[in-house]
Structure 1
Amino acid sequence: MLNELNQSEATNGITIRALHLIEEMEQVRTLESKIWGFEDSIPTHQTITAAKNGGLVLGAYFEGEMIGFQYSFPGFDGQTVYLCSHMLGIDQAFRNKGIGKLLKIAQREEALKLGYKLITWTYDPLETANGYLNIAKLGGVCRTYIENCYGEMDDLLNSGIPSDRFLVEWHISKNEDEKENLRQVELSEALEHSLIEWEENEDGLPIPNIKDSFEVSDLAFVAVPKDFRTIRESNIHIANEWRMKTRESFQNLFRNGWKVTGFYKNSETNLPVHFYILKK
């Protein structure tokens, strides 16, 4: 499947392959440092050791240059062995071109070859581009919310707010008929039943609030901002309001047996939010 993937990618010049050499791991660290900074980058001795012991490192290339990578290592929770997908990075010049999805598809195929049935990873639920990929496109689900998962982080993407994360479960061995299926959802339903509502301030930034009361049927909805990075860069107080209000909403739902199984991407330009969809 990985070879077939490379052939189909030839039309846009992107190739993806599993990495095994120390020189390739050095390319991964160089790209990771370019994206997040060298200080917290993963040492090459760690990535190559993982690759030799049940882990997986993938590289995405354009004209011979690495422009994306994915790094995973084996995980075990006392009952289940799974692949822990730790990091995925793409050069800024190549973002929003579907490379992240190609890396995840390649990861799935290689993980199946290694005998894995489950891949897990964490991501910030307010980063909605990742939410759309992880939940809507890949079919991951989430029932675990981790407060301040990595502590205080000083990088450009996380500075100033708690590093809360969703824990995604991607059951890669399931057939289509075994996967979570959602009925058709309309925007009006998501707006009416969202646990989070909002109003815009004088700068046009949405300010969240938890509804005093709401009706829940077979599905629940939680609104999240379309462009959280702009909010964080413009007004850290409002960014923290979104963090705390959505944290409370998701934790309450998860405690009561709900899980995230869908993502509604709202195309209306005058509405500043997308929606996570949950069911029991």
Structure 2
Amino acid sequence: MKQEALTSLVIKNLHTVKDLEAVYELEARIWSVEEAVPVNHTVATVKNGGFVLGAFLGEELIGFQYSFPGFDGTKVYLCSHSLGIHPEYRALGIGEKLKNAQKQTALEKGYDLISWTYDPLETVNANLNLHKLGAECTQYIENAYGEMSDHMNAGIPSDRFLVEWRIQDERPLRQFSLEVLPRAIETGVADGLAVPENVNLFYDNEKILIPVPGNFQDIKKRDFELALKWRKSTKDAFAHYFSKGWIVTDLIKDAAENQYLYLLEKR
């Protein structure tokens, strides 16, 4: 029923205090009051080059996307700070619709680059960011936001990928074979959960793969020490290969092994 209702989904560029208060309330519900962006910040943002998009079913706000201008000393870009979906409407493609609306709005405002961060162990986000949208990850940031207390991040270092989405570029066609590419982390299985074993830091191939579990939040609930081991193993692998000139260009599902694999390519 919800899937059918999404045919009437409307995405709007929000400006009023009333609409931005609704965004704050939804954000607090998704994460926590402490993590929600204050309304006075979002009001200032929409008046100074940023924007907030809202996804509505009728009068109900069920998703949002918040962006503000960034500047690295050389170029101006759009910083995509947060995107959230009402818990009852997830896995319906609303996030992708919001990101494509963000792209269109950014182009209208004159931006050509959108940047954001996400947890590399959250494969739902990775699939959208890399595989569907065609963005790339160029940097691994250790403990980017310090200790976080919300239910998705508590107790785990807040390591993040830096994503760069060049919205005026066409995505290049990538051809490769999973079978012949080396894997920088060897994995096993214990109690039905994927386990990282050896981390290999000696490859020099043009393309390499780094496996990650597809159920990280489930791993956190069932075996917290294993979740920490996944964080450390992937940090060691990504930080090393980024420092040697690779970037992450895609996320692939290996159906044969029920595993997700990041594709890394030399710049």
Q: TM-score range by the shorter chain?
A: over 0.9
Q: Which runs of no fewer than 5 residues in structure 1 stay unpaired?
A: 1-8
The range that moved more, 31-40 or 219-228, is 31-40
**Mapped partners of 2:105, 2:158: distance in 1:** 30
Aligned pairs, number: 263
Q: CA deviation at 1:224?
A: 0.4
Q: Does 1:240 align with 2:240?
A: no
Aligned to 2:213: 225
Give, in angstroms, the shift of residue 10 of structure 1.
8.4
Q: Which residue of 2 aligns with 1:48?
A: 43
Pick which of 221-230 and 37-46 moved more: 37-46
The residue aligned with 1:4 is: none
Q: Output the TM-score relative to the length of structure 2.
A: 0.94
CA deviation vs aligned residue, 1:130-168 (integer Å, no higher than 9, x gap): 001000100111110000000011100001110000000
The equivalent position to 1:80 in structure 2, one of 27, 50, 75, is 75
Q: SS at 2:254's partner residue? A: coil
Aligned: 1:182 with 2:179: no
Q: Matched residue of 2:163: which SS? A: strand
Contact 2:200 2:237 in 1 (8 A): no
* 1:256-275 correspondence to structure 2 within 5 Å: 256-268=244-256, 271-275=257-261
Partner of 2:123: 128
Residue identity matched to 2:66 = Y
- What is the correspondence of 1:106-125 to structure 2 with a 5 Å cutoff? 106-125=101-120
CA distance in 2, matches of 1:105, 1:212: 37
Aligned: 1:146 with 2:146: no
Instruction: Using the TM superposition, give the Cα deviation of residue 204 of structure 1 relative to its aligned residue in structure 2, in angstroms.
Output: 1.2
Matched, 1:276 2:266: no
Query: Is 1:20 paired with 2:12?
Result: no
| Alpha-carbon offset, residue 14 of structure 1 | 1.1
CA distance in 2, matches of 1:77, 1:33: 30
Instruction: Give the 3 Å change call, closer, same or farther, for CA 101–212 of structure 1 in structure 2.
Output: closer
- Give deviations 1:107-145, integer Å, cap 9, x for gaps: 000000101010000000000010010001001111100
Query: Which residue identity does 1:274 align to in structure 2?
Result: Y
SS in 2 for 1:107: helix
State the one-letter code of the partner of 2:11: I
Assess, with a 3 A threshold, how the Cα gap between structure 1 residues 117 and 22 changes in structure 2: closer, same or farther. same
Cα shift at 1:85: 0.3
Q: Per-residue deviation at 1:210?
A: 2.8
Question: How far apart are residue 189 of structure 1 and its match?
Answer: 3.4
Q: Distance in 2 between matches of 1:258 and 1:200?
A: 28
Separation in 1, partners of 2:13, 2:6? 20
SS at match of 1:149: coil
Q: Distance in 2 between matches of 1:62 and 1:151?
A: 35
Partner residue, 1:5: none
Shift of the 198–76 alpha-carbon distance from structure 1 to 2, 3 Å rule, reads same
Residues 204 and 232 of structure 1: CA distance in aligned 2, closer, same or farther (over 3 Å)? same
Structure 1 SS opposite 2:180: helix
Aligned-partner SS, 1:189 = coil
- AA aligned to 2:175 is R
Q: By how many angstroms is 1:214 displaced?
A: 6.4
1 or 2, which has the higher strand percentage? 2
Is the 8 Å Cα contact of residues 63 and 86 (structure 2) preserved in structure 1? yes
Inter-partner Cα distance in structure 2 for 1:120 and 1:212: 29
Equivalents in 2 of 1:227, 1:145: separation in Å? 21
Q: Find the aligned partners of 2:200 and 2:90 in 1 and give their Cα distance.
A: 39
Identify unmatched segments of 5+ residues in structure 2. Answer: none
Answer yes or no: is 1:105 the counterpart of 2:100. Answer: yes
Question: What is the distance in 2 between the residues matched to 1:122 and 1:213?
Answer: 24
Once the two structures are TM-superposed, the CA of residue 212 in structure 1 deviates from its matched residue by 4.7
- Residue identity over aligned pairs, in percent, reads 46
How far did 1:199 drift?
Answer: 1.4
Aligned counterpart, 1:198 = 187
Task: Give the secondary-structure state (helix, strand or coil) at the position aligned to 2:111.
Answer: coil
Cα separation, 2, equivalents of 1:97 and 1:55: 26
